[in-house]
Chains A and B, each alone.
Chain A
């Protein structure tokens, strides 16, 4: 599948219908997930209605890390096989991941105020998540600081791979420093600790975020490829 799409022309043909398709999937999943999460799922016996922030916060946190892992894979492919489409994919994913990280931090802060009694605490999970957001910003800034796209792609890929160190730190921060943020309750040994009535809307929202990411990623990549083609055409025109 991925090798098939590695050809830019085939990718353009595929994404021409896949991007709208995933966008539609995202709309449907949000249309189901948001009411389910915000109105029809049960309130928490301790937190009351504020638990609903979880359905926005947790998927954003998952996919801010998932997008970074995706960028890590794309960077590796771009670096080893010098594949330009992988470079385009890594670059196109960064602003989306940064936005997810920002959503995670902001909603987490809004959730922390009523439940923890504080907007912010310098706990391991919060701090490493903030570090991820800053790493995203550094990655984006490095890309835009370089004129030579070819070179920028390789250098940004090296930076992205170095930044992968942060992902396990975020994941295990709640186990290493048990300060404030609760440990994992979905993916843990001994089965999920969340009630099924909350797991349904949570996974629907996670699917919605993923579909949104796929759609935005393909739209960003298409825009980048079109821009490249225009520049190439302009250069040919300039020479003639």
Chain B
């Protein structure tokens, strides 16, 4: 448990020192800004099709942060230290994922509120969109752990991570955009929570298995 907390705090501190959520947030808002530019600012069109597109922006923002998640640990030897620790590597990987969610996922979810409003989501739907983004970023990070771990040894693996991880982003995006589109919000939120739990259960196990190989 101590090792879990220590890894969590270390990663939060490191990410915070490296600019924290600032860059992913800026990326998220920038990508959101491009949506009405691409679709045209027509209000009726945005109202019907705009809000779900915050999910594309959120998925890309998480994707952009994955590449360095384990690579830095592999290069500076922290990963070897983690494996020497008596705590299971799976738990430490989960701690890193939790840190990433606190520093990057949660701010993204909160920023989803202004972004959704800017894309003409009805204000009554905004709390559900924020909640869905909080769950969805957890699912993205859980799957992203696997992609980041299998590519940790690849130099400039950014595009490769995207290719590997994107198909697994599909379920959260399907149900997340159902929330943002306002149909069957309750059911979609429950399924999103299920996606997040499944990703957070499976992700650390697969990622830890991959990281053990990386450090060999």
Which residues does A use to contact B, with CB under 8 Å?
127, 131-132, 134-135, 137-138, 141-142, 145-146, 148, 151, 154-156, 158-159, 161-163, 165-166
How far is B167's CA from A138's CA once the two chains are assembled, in angstroms? Answer: 9
> Are A158's CB and B154's CB within 8 A?
no
Q: What are the nearest 3 A-B pairs in CB distance?
A: A138-B164, A131-B167, A155-B150
11 cross-chain CB contacts under 8 A: A137-B163, A138-B163, A145-B157, A154-B213, A155-B210, A158-B206, A158-B213, A159-B146, A159-B150, A162-B168, A163-B167
**A interface, over-half SS:** helix
**Which chain A residues border B166 with CB–CB below 8 Å?**
134
Q: Known contacts A158-B150, A158-B213; can you find 19 more A-B pairs with CB under 8 A?
A: A127-B170, A134-B166, A134-B167, A138-B164, A138-B167, A141-B160, A141-B163, A142-B151, A142-B160, A145-B154, A151-B213, A151-B214, A154-B210, A154-B213, A155-B150, A155-B213, A155-B214, A158-B209, A159-B150
Contact A135 B210, CB 8 Å, known A146-B154, A158-B150, A162-B146: no
Interface size, B (range)? 20 to 34
**Which chain B residues border A135 with CB–CB below 8 Å?**
167
B20 at the interface (CB under 8 A from A): no
How far is B153's CA from A162's CA once the two chains are assembled, in angstroms? Answer: 19
**Which chain A residues border B146 with CB–CB below 8 Å?**
158-159, 162
B216 at the interface (CB under 8 A from A): yes
**Which chain B residues border A146 with CB–CB below 8 Å?**
153-154
B22 at the interface (CB under 8 A from A): no
Minimum Cβ distance to chain B for residue A179 (Å): 12
Interface residues of B in 127-185 (CB under 8 A from A): 146, 150-151, 153-154, 157, 160, 163-164, 166-168, 170
> Are A159's CB and B153's CB within 8 A?
no
> Which single member of A127, A148, A162, A166 contacts B206 (CB below 8 Å)?
A162
B202 at the interface (CB under 8 A from A): yes
How far is B151's CA from A155's CA once the two chains are assembled, in angstroms? Answer: 8
> Are B150's CB and A142's CB within 8 A?
yes
Minimum Cβ distance to chain A for residue B122 (Å): 24
**Which chain A residues border B209 with CB–CB below 8 Å?**
158
Interface 1/0 per residue, B177-216 and A, CB below 8 Å:
0000000000000000000000000100010011001101
How far is B150's CA from A159's CA once the two chains are assembled, in angstroms? Answer: 8
How far is B153's CA from A137's CA once the two chains are assembled, in angstroms? Answer: 19
Residue of B at shortest CB range from A154? B213
Minimum Cβ distance to chain A for residue B97 (Å): 15
**Which chain B residues border A148 with CB–CB below 8 Å?**
153
Minimum Cβ distance to chain A for residue B49 (Å): 13
How far is B209's CA from A132's CA once the two chains are assembled, in angstroms? Answer: 23
> Are B213's CB and A159's CB within 8 A?
no
> Which single member of B154, B157, B170 contacts A131 (CB below 8 Å)?
B170
**Which chain B residues border A134 with CB–CB below 8 Å?**
163, 166-167
How far is B195's CA from A212's CA once the two chains are assembled, in angstroms? Answer: 38
**Which chain B residues border A159 with CB–CB below 8 Å?**
146, 150, 164
How far is B165's CA from A163's CA once the two chains are assembled, in angstroms? Answer: 10
Residue of B at shortest CB range from A132? B167
> Are B202's CB and A162's CB within 8 A?
yes
**Which chain A residues border B167 with CB–CB below 8 Å?**
131-132, 134-135, 138, 163, 166
How far is B153's CA from A145's CA once the two chains are assembled, in angstroms? Answer: 9
How far is B210's CA from A162's CA once the two chains are assembled, in angstroms? Answer: 12
